[in-house]
Chain A
């Protein structure tokens, strides 16, 4: 697996990427909070927030095609949920609530995309730790992030092997069966691996606390 397949744009070198992680987290959370608290009738303020977030995104040189694709993916669900308000009034009123939901969701989503795509996961985690995230939870997150790459490699190997032994996806029932076996095997192997990793950690003096260089 390439090292950046989970966070493709976050290792760039722009002003936004060089900002300290803590500042970015606080900025993003406050933008999201303000956009949620603003009532729907304050839509010009919401628009200003959107412009701000969009400027930050373009400063971070995040491709617009990527942003468009992400927005298109969440838009159907957002619209469906937002339409629940006018739908329950027979489309006579409730449009303000619906527009409010759509605006808020888009601004908050874009702000979150900016944070995620300008901060690599390790630095994000270090920043969150200094903002008071519990140590045990951070340790767990670091562990999961490290072993995700191992498990994705394992999954890729198993899929290659499975493809090598079969001619095609087959009917739906076969496809389900082979995928269920794929996940099941991954689970069994991962639990065995957890035992081995636990032994190795204990052998290296693991006492329940992670030491980091930051």
Chain B
């Protein structure tokens, strides 16, 4: 998941860095208002938990492969969106400065894709669902859906950054979308499973850590919540629409040409749109069918898996205070 230096051009790295720095600065100032002296111990400890938690490997069905926690949504659900965003930024910095995981110039893009989208965007979706579904079910469903959506949104954002870095038309954006989305809808299912499991475990053992009202942790308020939910959901949906939209964009260009609107072309998106064109005439177009099929299949499978998980966790995360003595909370 970490972007290493070399994928993105210098301009895109710097642009993403500026956006990430803005979000991080906002989060830090919000934290200092709400937590004041508690900022450092609480946020720092959360970051340390995610860093250590990522070392725990979850076996996949195919034996030699492992998955692990990413943690953006988990952090946001437990300590709130602002602290979660800062915690993710800290984790990413430590991974960069200790292991060289993720590039130094791409740090901003990494924070944007995982920290800002994962914690702030994920929390927006989580609180959107939690405000509508009552009780534990709402909390777990919100966390599961937010975890899956934020992974897809992060991968879509990476595709956009990658395409903006190579504006000379050497890349077919929809192909990249296909690869990344099929890959990340699987990662997203793992992340949703792990996040849902941990959240329902905490709800069973220490519900006081999660169940306080949303307003007490500096929740994303009114407009911010709507914008955040909309943006992340749009990014996630774009991942599955993109292969189909390629035709729509071509159609749009054809209409523009017919109406001679070429001069009105919206410049900032020009590199994106031009990537949709099929570069070589005479290539077998039928391959596009399988590409679209695989993306929609990944989307359908992922969505249904997440819905099943939501249902299952909602079913089984009943309060379990009675058997706490026997539970692993006393491990070690």
Contact = CB atoms under 8 A, between A and B. Distances in A.
Interface of A is mostly: helix
B283 A124 contact: no
A126 interface: no
Nearest to B1: A77
A195 to B, nearest CB: 8
A147 B162 contact: no
B134 interface: no
B197 A176 contact: yes
Nearest to A103: B6
Interface residues of A, number: 90
B105 A33 contact: yes
B135 interface: no
Nearest to A185: B329
A128 to B, nearest CB: 8
Given A109-B5, A148-B94, A183-B198, 19 more contacts: A36-B5, A36-B10, A88-B172, A101-B7, A109-B103, A112-B100, A140-B44, A144-B94, A151-B51, A182-B56, A183-B53, A186-B49, A188-B205, A188-B209, A190-B48, A191-B45, A193-B45, A197-B41, A208-B40
Interface of B is mostly: helix
Interface of A: 6-7, 28-29, 32-33, 35-37, 70, 74, 78, 80-81, 84-85, 87-90, 92-94, 96-97, 101-109, 112-113, 115-116, 121, 124-125, 134, 136-137, 139-141, 143-145, 147-148, 150-152, 154-155, 157-158, 160-162, 169, 172, 175-188, 190-191, 193-195, 197-198, 201-202, 206-208
Give the interface centre of A158, A178, A198 by most chain B CB atoms within 10 Å: A198
Give the interface centre of A179, A184, A207 by most chain B CB atoms within 10 Å: A184
Interface string B1-13: 0001111111001
A96 B170 CA distance: 9
A203 to B, nearest CB: 12
B223 interface: no
A28 B7 CA distance: 17
